[in-house]
Amino acid sequence: MSDQDSDAYARSLSRELLPLKFLKRLRLGLYLISSTTVLAHRLFHRRNLPAPAVVEWHHAIPQAQNPQEGGPRPQAEQLISLLHQKDPENEFGPLTICTICIEAVGQVGKRAEASASAIIQELVPSMEVVQWMDWLSSEHLGITSYMRSLHH
């Protein structure tokens, strides 16, 4: 899960895929969004707050749980537990997607996916479709597909 260096990742992956001369479809189980998106949603967006530009989990977890108290420094187990929570249907269900998440990462993620897909399709001549996991979907299980442009 990251939107950083996704083009470099696409180039590296393409080199590994080149021997697969007949590969036409590729589905990657990756979200090309900021690695702090989950924390931003669960610690800030749920409370209708915009997340800060930098989300530092060891500061954000205590603030979200007890905003008035300083409290002890959170442990890694708290972070792991938070990251593995299932989002309720009213936040990421069939009819609703967190609008703050859409505003925060929607366009950045789509640009990263489109760019990485174009690189893979350019460097792997047989590739027709590249698919990515879509965080901004029901239960985060959606897929975004990028078909080879007819101009290639």
- At 26-40, the pLDDT tens digits run 999 999 998 889 989
Q: What is the pLDDT of residue 65?
A: 62
Let me know if residue 152 belongs to a domain: no
Instruction: Provide the pLDDT for residue 151.
Output: 57
For the chain, the domain total comes to: 1
- Quote the domain boundaries for residue 86: 6-147
Global pTM reads 0.83
- pLDDT digits 0-9 by tens, 37-69: 998 998 889 888 888 888 887 777 776 665 555
Q: Are 8 and 112 a contacting pair, CB within 8 Å?
A: no
Which pLDDT score is estimated for 10?
Answer: 98
Tell me if 68 is assigned to some domain.
Answer: yes
What confidence tens digit (pLDDT) does each residue in 64-119 have? 665 555 566 677 888 888 888 899 999 999 899 999 999 999 999 999 999 999 99
120 within some domain: yes
